[in-house]
Amino acid sequence: MEHKDIDHLFRHHSGKMVSVLTRIFGLEHLDIIEDAVQDTFLKASLSWRKEQPEYPEAWLTKAAKNRVLDIFRTLKTQKKYISNLSTGTDAIAINELFLDKEIEDAQLRMIFTACHPKLDSRDRISFALKTVSGFSTKEIASALLTKEETIKKRLLRARKSIQKAELKFAIPQGKALKERLNSVMEVLYLIFNEGFHSNNKEQLIRENLCGEAMRLCQLLLKHNNTRQPNVYALFALMCFHSARLSSKTNTNNQVLDLKHQDRSLWHFPLIQLGNTMMNKAVETEAFSSYHYEAAIAAEHLKARTFEDTNWDKILHWYQLLYELQPMPSHQLTMAVICLQNRDYKSAESYFKKLNPDALEQRKYLYYAAKADYYKATNHLELALEYIQKAIEHVNNALEKDYLLKKQSTWQKSPN
Q: Is the pLDDT of residue 27 over 50?
A: yes
Q: Tell me how far apart the alpha carbons of residues 367 and 382 are, in angstroms, rounded to a whole number.
A: 11
Q: Is the pLDDT of residue 72 over 80?
A: no
The residue type found at 30 is L
Least confident of 1-10, 85-94, 346-355: 85-94
The confidence score (pLDDT) of residue 288 equals 94
More confident residue, 319 or 135: 319
The confidence score (pLDDT) of residue 12 equals 74
What sign has the CA pseudo-torsion 366, 395, 139, 209?
Answer: positive
pTM: 0.82
Q: Tell me how far apart the alpha carbons of residues 112 and 103 are, in angstroms, rounded to a whole number.
A: 14
The confidence score (pLDDT) of residue 304 equals 92
The confidence score (pLDDT) of residue 290 equals 96
Give domain 103-197's CATH architecture: Orthogonal Bundle (1.10)
More confident residue, 47 or 324: 324
Range among 24-38, 127-141, 305-319 with highest mean pLDDT value:
305-319
Confidence of residue 53 (pLDDT cuts 50, 70, 90): confident
More confident residue, 207 or 310: 310
**Across 32-52, average pLDDT:** 79
3-state SS track over the chain: CCHHHHHHHHHHHHHHHHHHHHHHHCHHHHHHHHHHHHHHHHHHHHHCCCCCCCCHHHHHHHHHHHHHHHHHHHCCCHHHHCCCCCCHHHHHHHHHCCCHHHHHHHHHHHHHHHCCCCCCHHHHHHHHHHHCCCCCHHHHHHHCCCCHHHHHHHHHHHHHHHHHHCCCCCCCCCHHHHHHHHHHHHHHHHHHHHHHCCCCCCCCCCHHHHHHHHHHHHHHHHCCCCCCHHHHHHHHHHHHHHCCHHHCECCCCCECCHHHCCHHHCCHHHHHHHHHHHHHHCCCCCCCHHHHHHHHHHHHHHCCCHHHCCHHHHHHHHHHHHHHCCCHHHHHHHHHHHHHCCCHHHHHHHHHHCCHHHHHHHHHHHHHHHHHHHHHCCCHHHHHHHHHHHHHHCCCHHHHHHHHHHHHHHHHCCC
Please give the span between the terminal C-alpha atoms of the chain, in angstroms, as a whole number.
Answer: 55
Q: Is the pLDDT of residue 247 over 90?
A: no
Q: How far is CA 253 from CA 169, 204, 292, in A?
A: 43, 9, 31
pLDDT tens readout for residues 357-372: 888 888 999 999 999 9
Range among 51-65, 201-215, 335-349 with highest mean pLDDT value:
335-349
Confidence of residue 87 (pLDDT cuts 50, 70, 90): very low
pLDDT tens readout for residues 278-305: 999 999 888 999 999 999 999 999 999 9
327-415: CATH class = mainly alpha
The confidence score (pLDDT) of residue 9 equals 72
The residue type found at 258 is L
pLDDT tens readout for residues 257-272: 788 888 999 999 999 9
Q: Is the pLDDT of residue 186 over 50?
A: yes
Range among 24-28, 92-96, 227-231 with highest mean pLDDT value:
227-231
Q: Is the pLDDT of residue 81 over 60?
A: no
**Across 379-398, average pLDDT:** 91
List all residues 6 or more positions away from 346 whose beta carbon is below 8 Å from its beta carbon.
335, 338
Average predicted confidence (pLDDT) for the chain:
85
Q: Is the pLDDT of residue 88 over 50?
A: no
Q: Tell me how far apart the alpha carbons of residues 27 and 114 are, in angstroms, rounded to a whole number.
A: 11
**Per DSSP, what are the bridge partners of residue 37?**
none
Least confident of 247-256, 325-334, 344-353: 247-256
Share of the chain above pLDDT 90, in %: 41
The confidence score (pLDDT) of residue 8 equals 67
More confident residue, 99 or 151: 151
List all residues 6 or more positions away from 405 whose beta carbon is below 8 Å from its beta carbon.
254
The confidence score (pLDDT) of residue 5 equals 59
